[in-house]
Homo-oligomer: A and B are copies of this chain.
Amino acid sequence: MSGRKLTIGLFGFGVVGEGIYNVLQQASSLQATIKKICIKHPGKKRAADPNLFTTDAEALLNDPGINLIVELIDDADDAFIIVSTALRNGKDVVSANKKMIAEHLPDLLALQAEHGTSLLYEASVCGSIPIIRNLEEYYDNDLLDSITGIVNGSTNFILTKMAEDGLAYKDALLQAQQLGFAESNPTLDVDGYDALNKLTILLAHTYGVAARPTSLLFKGISQLHPTDATYAATRGYKIKLAAQVRRMGRGQVAAQVLPQFVKPDSQLFGVRNEYNGVIIESHLADQQFLYGKGAGRYPTSSAVLSDIAALRYQYKYEYRKLHSPEKYSVTQDYYLNVYVSFNNWSEVSKWDFESIDEFHSTQERQYLAGTIHVEKLMRADWFQSPAVSLIVMPDGLVRKDAIALKSIKKISLQLGGIFE
């Protein structure tokens, strides 16, 4: 078997780092050995040769004998310093740090190009599911229509418990925390930031757009109300937090992370608990679906290992869409069919909607179903309010040219009386 010999400098010895260490001890066919491991707290007892450990990052980054840095630490800022230094020093890098990658994508692209080094990060999106590799290698022929995924296991676990066991959001979150599927500070997950980082990475590999994560449309699940669950249940829907990239016309893509109603005929309907799943739509292949564990020790280790294996053959992402003559940019010039629930009308401006198709009011909660322009939605004060819940309807993305066909009815007469 061919392939070059890899000598690894490992940053971080948490569950994934230790997993990689153990597997590399066994998987001799990979021809990869760990030369040094950089850790933060030297005092801890660790199940590996003590001579491997150091707290001196430079000892790894400046060692010419090390040709691969595997970065598995939590802190995104420290991670960026490590990764960018390594790339500059001519070392290839494997990282699982989605926050770092999403926030520094343009810099990381430039560093790879300048120094001819390769940065792989399959573990950063959907854990063990080889979504980035497939987008790079297999869906690179200009025919991609959309990609829609459940990319955050914590929120999917919570949403599954809410739907299947009738738990309120708070109780479902607590259970997720107890079982280790959510952090003690769950904000990054439940408010959508983690999914947003993954969306940003997918956007680069689907349409070659390197966007700032927080410039994109997103909302998490922490504001979901029991009324929303009832609405979903009576219609046979499930609520999922969906990350979506969709071509909306020549050179334009929609990119969003939003709660979404999913019907039973969607492959996402059956993605339960901590699992992830991604639907890829293309002109030729029609609909494809990739499914697996999105996080956790072994799934993450699996993706990191596959990246290490690929680097034996000097594999690098080509980012072909980024260098393609047809450039894409993110558009907010499209419409969404949405369900919105709230406590009273003072919280939501009805005039933001192009049309309202359904309205329901009880003492407990009010909701409407209607169509809204995305620019208007992103500017609306109420959109990010924790008292307001917004869920995209199934097939809720509407291209601008399609909306003209719909008769646009500003707040219909029958409903008028209630609103004033």
Smallest beta-carbon distance A8→chain B, Å: 15
Q: Per-residue CB proximity of A31-49 to B under 8 Å, as 1/0? A: 0000000000000000000
Smallest beta-carbon distance A284→chain B, Å: 4
Q: Which of B19, B284, B298, B306 contacts A301 (CB 8 A)?
A: B284
Does B134 lie within 8 Å of A309, measured CB to CB?
no
Does A133 lie within 8 Å of B138, measured CB to CB?
yes
Instruction: Enumerate chain B residues within 8 angstroms of A286, measured Cβ to Cβ.
Output: 128, 292-293, 298-299
Using A270-B270, A291-B267 as known contacts, say yes or no to A284 and B137 having CB atoms under 8 A apart. Answer: no
Q: Per-residue CB proximity of A309-338 to B under 8 Å, as 1/0? A: 110000000001001110000000000000
Interface membership of A199, Cβ < 8 A: no
Interface membership of A368, Cβ < 8 A: no
Instruction: Enumerate chain B residues within 8 angstroms of A284, measured Cβ to Cβ.
Output: 19, 23, 128, 298-299, 301-302, 305
Interface membership of A129, Cβ < 8 A: yes
Using A142-B29, A302-B282 as known contacts, say yes or no to A324 and B1 having CB atoms under 8 A apart. Answer: yes
Interface membership of A285, Cβ < 8 A: yes
Number of chain copies forming the complex = 2
Residue on B with the closest CB to A326?
Answer: B29
CA distance A298 to B285 in the complex (A): 6
Does B310 lie within 8 Å of A137, measured CB to CB?
yes
Residue on B with the closest CB to A292?
Answer: B288
Number of interface residues of A (CB under 8 A): 46
Does B142 lie within 8 Å of A134, measured CB to CB?
no
Q: Per-residue CB proximity of A119-139 to B under 8 Å, as 1/0? A: 000000001111001100111
CA distance A128 to B284 in the complex (A): 8
Interface membership of A352, Cβ < 8 A: no
CA distance A19 to B309 in the complex (A): 35
Does A289 lie within 8 Å of B288, measured CB to CB?
no
Instruction: Enumerate chain B residues within 8 angstroms of A293, measured Cβ to Cβ.
Output: 285-288
Smallest beta-carbon distance A218→chain B, Å: 27
Interface membership of A70, Cβ < 8 A: no
Instruction: Enumerate chain B residues within 8 angstroms of A292, measured Cβ to Cβ.
Output: 285-289
Interface membership of A102, Cβ < 8 A: no
Smallest beta-carbon distance A251→chain B, Å: 15
Instruction: Enumerate chain B residues within 8 angstroms of A138, measured Cβ to Cβ.
Output: 130, 133, 306
Interface membership of A357, Cβ < 8 A: no
Smallest beta-carbon distance A232→chain B, Å: 20
5 contacts between A and B (CB under 8 A): A27-B143, A139-B306, A284-B299, A285-B298, A286-B292
Given A30-B141, A140-B306, A289-B291, 10 more pairs with CB closer than 8 A: A1-B323, A27-B141, A130-B137, A133-B137, A267-B270, A267-B291, A285-B302, A286-B292, A286-B298, A289-B290
3 tightest A-B contacts by CB?
A: A128-B285, A284-B302, A288-B292
